[in-house]
Structure 1
Amino acid sequence: MKNRKEFVLLVILAFISFNMMAQPNVHNQSTEYEWPKDSLVKIKLDEWQNSKFGMIIHWGLYSVPGMIESWSLCSENWIERDSTITYDNYKKWYWSLSNNFNPVKFNPEQWAQAAYNAGMRYLVFTTKHHDGFAMFNTKQTDFSIAQGPFKDNPKSDVAKYVFDAFRKKGFMIGAYFSKPDWHSEYYWWPKYATPDRNNNYDINKNPWRWNKFKQYTYNQISELMHNYGSIDILWLDGGWVRPLESVNEEVRSWGANIPNWSQNIDMKHIAEMARAAQPGLIMVDRTVHGPYENYQTPEQKIPLVKLEHPWESCMTLGDAWGFVPNDNYKSSYKVIHSLIEIVSKGGSLLLGVGPSAEGLIPDKAVKCLNKIGVWMNKNGEAIYNTRTTEIYHNDNVWFTQNKDGNKLFALVCLQEGDKIPEYLEWSGNLPAKGSKLILLETNKAVKWELINGKIRVILPRGLSKETEALAFSFRPVVKPAK
């Protein structure tokens, strides 16, 4: 027994150095995009584009030791594990975390309130990550939160209560679902080793096994689409599970192995079922460009220039997607400046937060979200329901406009610790002659003048010294028709 305890302790200690690693092959931004043809999807997509700010929640087995999500199971050259532990023993240890995952303080209302206070308007929740552990009451496997030590808890069907809590706050609801499933014998066949993220057998030679996996995937997504109320977004991760003919240079740039067979799970069949159950459903088949990637998802980065099609940057509040003890959370300045840049370039920000194994968002993260919300409460008009402008950037000033195009917003990013200046200047987007310039923080007009083609805004005294950014609204100069 003593040796067993030392073994487990050794494994966990090995992760202290590993758990802050980020996946190196994050998704890049492509300009390839196909607009949806379904009118209901277009309406839902427009509603989503109005929201601008959302929360993605990674919560699963990896939350128990507080380490990187799922990826430690994979044997790729960027993964580090203790060399004294065999790979098979490591996998057994990881799978056994299901026997210890008992989140007795699970409080989805706390999560929803923290997101609401931050000014967020949509949710993406990890119903299943690559490790295959389901955070919902699936009938396809016993490997789920609803079948372990938490099974007798009234909230054991975790996804149901997460979705319900956020719906009550008026959020759009998104279900994250991993297409690969490393726990399923139909994806990682125990007959063979598991060298990388891909399925570990030749699909061309074993079509029966792959068809079983396709049915398994279809059935789980069907459960989510039929048993969990209204769903707005199906957010599908694991872009290497795709038709072989769709593999392009973008995919090859990830550096991951590309097998000689097609990991096609028949997305058309899944989409027809999902949209019959959830009319207008937004589908996000990440990096698989075409009819089932209704918006794109650059990860941990912001595109260099604005994009005219729908997109979001998914980024972490801390260094990790899931819960990690003593994580380094970004400042409200960093998050708000990223949000401003993203929205000005036509996108949305999906911010990652990881609850603890007990089921609570850490207090430090909640405090950070609250600070973001203070700014959003005063300046949200310049973020929500806006679209990008022809001129969207000038130095530290970013621009958005309302959907009618008759009101412009200038958002000036300020550096933490700097004094509020007496005046600000920008060029490019100027107020119409005689129009008022409203400082959103006070909802009052401020003085402005035009000097050498630049607008100079005189700031009132008494503004908060801890203001992350100042936002102004004004009526734009009307351009003559061509």
Structure 2
Amino acid sequence: MKLLIILTLLACPVAQDDMTDIWNLPPLEIESGRFSTDWDTLSRYYNVPEWWREAKFGAWSHWDPQSAAEYGDWYARGMYIPRNEQYRYHLEHYGRPSEYGYKDLCNDWVIDRWDPDELMQLYIRMGARYFLAMGNHHDNFDCWDSKYQPWNSVNVGPKKDIVGIWKETADKYGMPFGIGFHATPARTWGQFMTVRYTTDSDALLTKENGIGKWWEGLDPKDLYGPEHHDGRNSLETPFADQFMWRVDDAIRKYRPDMIYFDDHAGDSQIDLGINMGFGKLTPQILANFYNIADKRTTGNRQVVATFKGVGGRYNSFQNNPKLLPLVDRSLVKSTEFYTEDRIMAFPFQTEVSLQEWHFKAGVPYRSASEIILKLMQNVSRNGSLLLNITQRGRGDIDPEARQICEEIGLWLKTNAEAVYGSRPFDVWGDEHLFFTRNNGCIYVTMIDWNGNKTIIEPLKSGAPSVGKISDVAILGSDAKVTFLQTEEGLAVSADTDLAEKFKVLKVVHDKRWFNDDDPGVSTIGWTRECNRDKGDFNNDLYITDHPGDVWQASFTGRKVTLIAPTGIGWGSMRIQIDGKDYGTISLKADEDKPQQSVFTRRIGKGSHVIRIICQSGTAAIDALKIK
């Protein structure tokens, strides 16, 4: 009898520990560390890492078993809804869902044309500086060797650890690596599972029904969920606990630099009748991820977590708007297709796809110009762009998609300095041009400019962030640019035949200050204000009214001057350079004035660290002048 039991266990296709009941897991114990599960602490200690702010452009593999049908996004839901076009497609190509369900599509998912090494090289040539793999989608299938979901790509279908292979490939090329999680409680428990419990479905099959079939040993309930028809309170279900354990499992196995969630950070939005968002779970996810990353003994790259619905048109904090400033500083907000309409104080991300999110035959691709336009719309407003290069079911991409990637890469290779590592200017631009700045220079991305005389008003003489302009050049061109800076603006013209929709002007001027948000800055507790229109350098400030909060910057030079506003309502702050204390300075004055020199010190030539500590009242930092 004992021998029979052992042989039966060896024959079981499921890698999951049979003692793990994924529908009866306790709440996840959050990793201990400096980040606790409250928004105030998260916002005080988290800084968006430099690698992310330098990257600006990411590649995304939004690819899983739903891709196998090659009939669009949300296939695992639509195939179970009568009168849905995906249901009709499924009947025609696979048969009735009750006879050939989503579990069978997962098992028949063939990825023989997937070449992760070749694709990663393409993404790098395209100009991507980070990569995101699909961990799971709303279908509830995990694309890794999942401890808490037996329906995964190692047990079923490809029999490969897709996330693990992507991770190895990204590491090979030095590409920051992320994992996307879409099987969220609201989406999966609330929207995908509830449509499957019909007479024309396989969702009510039991583990016993699989005896003698290819899925023997697997329980359909683990993929489709236990029967339920009301998905509104998804955060109070066993699935919410299971989701937390699955995310934790992937974080610990693959050590991602980034995790992405296709759901809201708050809980006030409703979609398809379902209460969306993570709500109370969001700070738990963040604290767990940040603390785990803090304790890594190899590789010290800081991490990023992105969520949706943080302010803007899809704001999910309508029930508690006072949390928004804290949430904004605790993570990177991400939005599908929509770009923020103004410069944002903290970095954000916009997601777009070359075609459908999951491949659909016959759907046209977005052009390289459309993607570049979207990229510059984002970068000019303090954002990044994440692009899904839509893969076909078997893992390859179409030649047209490949060509678009190459075209994007050629443009970025020429105009890299206007994008990577850049920061926004005073204003983002308009429908004809975009501004960025980098290493003291201002970059103007001109749309459909033919070289005719154009006046760029924000670069006028006397503008708050612009000095005397000494040179203007077109990146990638030897054409001479004629320019004249006046009180009306910068007039430019050029005799150029550069056949580019987007031409970038590099503007050199003599007010090359180090802004309060430039590379090398980190903070504890400070927050940013931008679009102030009060004469500040770069139209922004770092401020705090909490004594002990620290603003810190690394720089190279022999003399430093601190620029800050002064006036009736300002407080005081303490200055330290390379560990030496230089006392307290006051920002109080009889009238409000921007861009005041409040501290100057000659120091030895070389690399230095300046720390500015709030002492009393409201402290503010605008810029550093470095010689």
Q: Normalized against structure 1, the TM-score is what?
A: 0.76
SS of the residue 2:445 aligns to: strand
1:176 paired residue among 176, 180, 186: 180
**Structure 1 counterpart of 2:448:** 414
Distance of 1:58 and 1:78 partners within structure 2: 26
Closer/same/farther in 2, CA of residues 343 and 147 from structure 1, 3 Å limit:
same
2:503 paired residue among 449, 470, 478: 470
**Structure 1 counterpart of 2:493:** 458
Gaps spanning 5+ residues in structure 1: where?
1-32
The reply to whether residue 247 of structure 1 matches residue 267 of structure 2 is yes
Distance of 2:129 and 2:502 partners within structure 1: 20
SS of the residue 2:595 aligns to: coil
User: For residues 136-285 of structure 1, what are the structure 2 equivalents within 5 Å?
Assistant: 136-151=144-159, 156-178=160-182, 179-180=184-185, 181=188, 182=192, 185=221, 189-193=225-229, 198=231, 210-211=237-238, 213-228=239-254, 230-239=255-264, 246-248=266-268, 251-252=269-270, 254=271, 256-258=272-274, 266-279=281-294, 280-285=302-307
Per-residue deviation at 1:117?
A: 1.0
The reply to whether residue 325 of structure 1 matches residue 369 of structure 2 is no
Distance of 1:121 and 1:84 partners within structure 2: 38
2:476 paired residue among 432, 441, 447: 441
Distance of 2:277 and 2:48 partners within structure 1: 33
Closer/same/farther in 2, CA of residues 265 and 455 from structure 1, 3 Å limit:
closer
Native 8 Å contact 1:36 1:42 kept in 2: no
Which of 55-64 and 270-279 deviates more? 270-279
Closer/same/farther in 2, CA of residues 332 and 111 from structure 1, 3 Å limit:
same
Native 8 Å contact 2:76 2:139 kept in 1: no
Native 8 Å contact 1:35 1:291 kept in 2: no
**Structure 1 counterpart of 2:401:** 365
**Structure 1 counterpart of 2:425:** 389
Task: Spell out, residue by residue over 1:257-282, the C-alpha distance to the aligned partner (whole angstroms, 9 max, x if none).
Answer: 146x9976744444443333323432
Closer/same/farther in 2, CA of residues 38 and 171 from structure 1, 3 Å limit:
farther
Query: How many residues align structurally?
Result: 413
Where relative contact order (Cα < 8 A, 6+ residues apart) is larger, the structure is 1
SS of the residue 1:221 aligns to: helix
Per-residue deviation at 1:438?
A: 2.4
Per-residue deviation at 1:434?
A: 5.1
Structure with higher strand content = 2
The reply to whether residue 90 of structure 1 matches residue 109 of structure 2 is no
**Structure 1 counterpart of 2:334:** 297
Per-residue deviation at 1:35?
A: 9.5
Closer/same/farther in 2, CA of residues 50 and 171 from structure 1, 3 Å limit:
same
Native 8 Å contact 2:53 2:347 kept in 1: yes
Native 8 Å contact 2:123 2:405 kept in 1: yes
The reply to whether residue 52 of structure 1 matches residue 56 of structure 2 is yes
**Structure 1 counterpart of 2:33:** none
Q: Normalized against structure 2, the TM-score is what?
A: 0.59
Per-residue deviation at 1:317?
A: 1.4
SS of the residue 1:411 aligns to: strand
Native 8 Å contact 1:145 1:157 kept in 2: yes
Distance of 1:303 and 1:76 partners within structure 2: 35
Closer/same/farther in 2, CA of residues 475 and 107 from structure 1, 3 Å limit:
same
The reply to whether residue 306 of structure 1 matches residue 326 of structure 2 is no
Native 8 Å contact 2:54 2:421 kept in 1: yes
Per-residue deviation at 1:157?
A: 0.8
Distance of 1:226 and 1:188 partners within structure 2: 26
Native 8 Å contact 2:146 2:246 kept in 1: yes
Distance of 2:493 and 2:279 partners within structure 1: 59
Percent identity among equivalent residues?
A: 17
Per-residue deviation at 1:215?
A: 3.7
SS of the residue 1:170 aligns to: coil
The reply to whether residue 103 of structure 1 matches residue 104 of structure 2 is no
Native 8 Å contact 1:344 1:389 kept in 2: yes
Distance of 1:114 and 1:270 partners within structure 2: 32
2:175 alignment partner AA: F
Distance of 1:134 and 1:160 partners within structure 2: 12
1:117 paired residue among 103, 114, 125: 125
